[in-house]
Amino acid sequence: MKHKIRHILMILGCLVALSCNSQKKEDDKLIGKWQGGLKDSKTGGLIDHIVLEFTNDGKFLQHVGEGQMKNTVESTYELRDDKIITIEKDTKEKAESKYTIKNDTLIILYEGMENKYIKLKQ
């Protein structure tokens, strides 16, 4: 009897571990660079040129601006369900956004604003 209970607990433990791992899913389509514009959440107007970069090792880089005005914000990211969860490296600020990918277009819904990014060919 003890052996059966131990066996059942081991199986349950494996199932719990597997279900946790499946939540941190990979989305190979997301990996790479995406170009778009950053919109003002109040006016909906275009603020700046932006390139989002997602790497295989969980890094998320936001390249904002162009030329000498270019600034890069480093973060980490993970995927959960249909959301991208980012944590900024310097401030440790956490953000969560819904996303979808259709063909070569990444659509991110953040603070009620829908931003579209086109996949850059590497």
Report DSSP state, residue 8: H
Q: What is the pLDDT of residues 92-112, one digit of tens each?
A: 999 999 999 999 999 999 878
- Residue 38's pLDDT is 66
Question: Quick one: pLDDT at residue 54?
Answer: 97
Q: Is the pTM of this model over 0.85?
A: no
Q: Where are the beta strands (DSSP E) in the chain?
A: 32-39, 46-54, 59-64, 71-80, 83-88, 94-102, 105-110, 113-119
> Tell me, what's the pLDDT at 70?
83
What is the per-residue pLDDT across 15-56, written as a single tens digit (0 to 9) for each?
333 333 333 456 889 999 999 976 666 776 766 788 999 999
Beta bridge partners of 105: 102, 118
Angle at 49 between CA 62 and CA 54, to 5 degrees: 25
Bridge partners of 15?
none
Q: What is the pLDDT at residue 31?
A: 95
- The answer to whether residues 36 and 115 touch, using CB atoms and an 8 Å cutoff, is yes
Q: Name the DSSP letter for residue 24.
A: S
Section 3-9 average pLDDT = 43
Q: Which residue has the tokens 């936001």?
A: 62
Cα 116 from chain centroid (whole Å): 14
pLDDT digits (tens, 9 = 90+) for 57-89: 999 999 988 778 888 999 999 999 899 999 999
